[in-house]
Structure 1
Amino acid sequence: MARELRAQLSASQGGWRLFVVVRGSLDGWPEFSFGSGERVPTFTERAQALKALGFVQAPAAEWEWTEFSTDPADPASPVWLLASTWVDSRAEGAA
């Protein structure tokens, strides 16, 4: 049975980072940096990053975007974007 894995994309330290949450792992989570810049990585760039990490987007899974305020008490404060989707290991995705 395949494990349910979640990939997350967030802006961090001036650039976008994608990582796969591997619960119960003692190793660091697989991570890909898109380098510096504010532009959100395209769908194709995200798919290529997942592939480089050994994963594929799960069938019928979609990217879900969430917006977080840096100061929930201030509606004018900057926001932080987080995107996530379900993924499979490439071996499972090919099966």
Structure 2
Amino acid sequence: MSTIQTTAFTTRGVTKVYRMGEVDVHALRAVDVEMFAGDFVVILGASGSGKSTLLNILGGLDGPSACEVSFRDQSLSDADEDALTEYRREHDGFVFQF
């Protein structure tokens, strides 16, 4: 008996570059991720490796510099602020570490 997994998140080539004065800081470089509904996912990495940046992009809090991001076949890459607000209201939950 096979189980069909529903894709929750898909990212292709997620890149995030922050401009610090005259220097470009690459927080993420071409990250590909596929996460499935019902899966428990852990994101581990050293400080400064882009974990929070990736979560902020998946959560619709920050936009990528370049890539394709989708949630249940809904593109977040091109979404305007109103669409991201609706996405966050309907699908997100955040606990901040501050």
Using the size of structure 1 for normalisation, the TM-score is 0.27
Using the size of structure 2 for normalisation, the TM-score is 0.27
Higher strand share: 1
